[in-house]
């Protein structure tokens, strides 16, 4: 194969990688953060279910924005609306929702801004519509989260330097004829101080750019690529459990592993190029990896400045992974481009 054909093949491979980088990771990256944001200063939790209900699981999602119920018993669980009207029936034959309940419309929007239809009537005869064939459902229950958009709770405004309990809430339900009270809390915590974390992000960015722009060989850039691959894999493994109405946790992790494995594939090729003294090719592949890392990390950028984040495992590792994806990814794009230019005209030196 002539040198010209080899160059054409390499260029075709890079174009293919760029196309895959632009499209393939977008879905899994978005899946990592669930149905909404990946980070928040608010957080919600269920503190008790009374009486205890074996076979019924209740949890809050998205920092208190949603309430999820899974009922695996043979008895139907009912949830009233805000005026006590019939709203949900969750049981062996799936989920049924009362179309005439005002809660059906109010809960469509996170802040309850959807206008009520003319037939919404808490006193009217229920119109049951099946919305799922599975005994599980998640919805925006406005008793579990803060409803004032763009405005902090007064207790937080009074002292934003400490954590606060914003709401202690209760959502009534019934299993068969047995009344059930689901209790929980919504909390707020101060975000990490910018003066502490942002210099670390800047240091990662500067270090990766320097690896591509100042190092005499492509070795330091290859090391930075290895760091990026580790962060990509860690980010995928830290994928949180999604709502059961969206998918399974193993499925979400496998989906998130797709872009991580693509990153690993390109990093292996880049490290091999660096070992063979092909600094220019290493730089070009570093640009591709940097773009892949940015596509993975950008949907989760809010974890860098919020107190709580959605992740499986230690939060500090999940936050560090996103920091490397973003700061390291940008550094690889810049440093890789500089390395590709610097090493382009240098002779290839193969280590003995």
Residue 97: strand pairing partners: 88, 129
What is the pTM (predicted TM-score) of this model? 0.81
Q: Label residues 44-67 b or e (16+ Cβ within 10 Å = b).
A: bebeebeeebeebebbbbbbbbbb
What DSSP assignment string belongs to 23-55? HTTHHHHHHHTTTS-SEESEEEEEEEEES--TT
High-pLDDT (> 70) share of the chain, %: 88
What does the alpha-carbon distance between residue 317 and residue 325 come to, in Å, rounded to a whole number? 12
**How far is 118 from 246, CA to CA, in rounded Å?**
31
Task: Looking at the chain, list the stretches that DSSP marks H as alpha helix, in order from N- to C-terminal side.
Answer: 3-23, 26-32, 102-106, 154-158, 194-213, 219-237, 249-275, 279-297, 315-323, 329-343
Distances (CA, A) of 330 to 17, 37, 124, 292, 324: 17, 22, 57, 10, 9
Q: pLDDT of 176-203, one tens digit each?
A: 989 999 999 999 999 988 888 899 999 9
Go through the chain and tell me how many residues it has: 352
Q: Looking at residues 79-85, what average pLDDT do you find?
A: 97
Of 30-34, 42-46, 112-116, 323-327, which gets the smallest average pLDDT? 30-34
For the chain, what is the mean pLDDT?
Answer: 88
pLDDT in tens, 106-144: 999 999 899 999 999 999 999 999 999 999 999 999 999
Torsion angles phi and psi, residue 217, rounded to 5: -125, 175
Mean pLDDT, residues 308-324 taken together: 92
Residue-by-residue DSSP string for 101-139: -HHHHHTTSTT--SPPPTT--TTSPP-EEEEESSSEEEE
Query: pLDDT tens-digit profile of 48-71?
Result: 999 999 999 999 999 999 999 999
Maximum Cα–Cα distance across the chain: 85
Distance CA 167, CA 170 (A): 10
């Amino acid at each position: 194969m002539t040198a010209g054909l080899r160059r054409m093949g390499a260029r075709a491979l890079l174009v293919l990688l760029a196309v895959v980088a632009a499209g393939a990771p977008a879905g899994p990256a978005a899946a990592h953060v669930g149905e909404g944001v990946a980070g928040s200063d608010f957080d919600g939790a269920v503190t008790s279910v009374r009486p205890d209900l074996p076979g019924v699981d209740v949890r809050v999602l998205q920092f208190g924005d949603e309430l999820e119920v899974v009922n695996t018993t043979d008895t139907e669980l009912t949830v009233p609306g805000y005026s006590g009207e019939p709203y949900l029936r969750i049981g062996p034959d799936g989920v049924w929702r009362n179309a005439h309940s005002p809660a059906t419309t109010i809960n469509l929007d996170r802040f309850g801004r959807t206008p009520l239809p003319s037939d919404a009537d808490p006193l009217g005869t229920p119109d049951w519509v099946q919305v799922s064939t599975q005994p599980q459902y998640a919805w925006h229950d406005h008793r579990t989260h803060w409803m004032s958009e763009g405005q902090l709770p007064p207790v937080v405004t009074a002292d934003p330097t400490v954590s606060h309990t914003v709401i202690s809430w209760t959502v009534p339900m019934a299993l068969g004829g047995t009344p059930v009270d689901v209790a929980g809390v919504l909390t707020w915590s101060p975000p990490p101080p910018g003066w502490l974390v942002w210099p670390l992000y800047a240091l990662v960015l500067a270090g990766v750019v320097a690896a591509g722009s100042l190092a005499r060989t492509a070795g330091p850039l290859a090391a930075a690529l290895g760091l990026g691959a580790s962060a990509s894999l860690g980010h995928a493994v830290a994928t949180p459990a999604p709502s059961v109405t969206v998918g399974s946790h193993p499925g979400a992790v496998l989906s998130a592993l797709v872009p991580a494995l693509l990153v690993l594939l390109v990093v292996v090729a880049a490290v091999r190029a660096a070992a063979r003294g092909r600094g220019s090719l290493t730089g070009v592949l570093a640009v591709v990896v940097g773009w892949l890392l940015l596509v993975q990390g950008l949907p989760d950028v809010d974890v860098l400045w919020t107190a709580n984040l959605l992740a499986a495992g230690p939060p500090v590792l999940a936050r560090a992974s996103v920091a490397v994806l973003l700061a390291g990814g940008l550094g690889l794009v810049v440093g890789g481009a500089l390395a590709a230019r610097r090493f382009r005209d240098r002779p290839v030196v193969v280590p003995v």
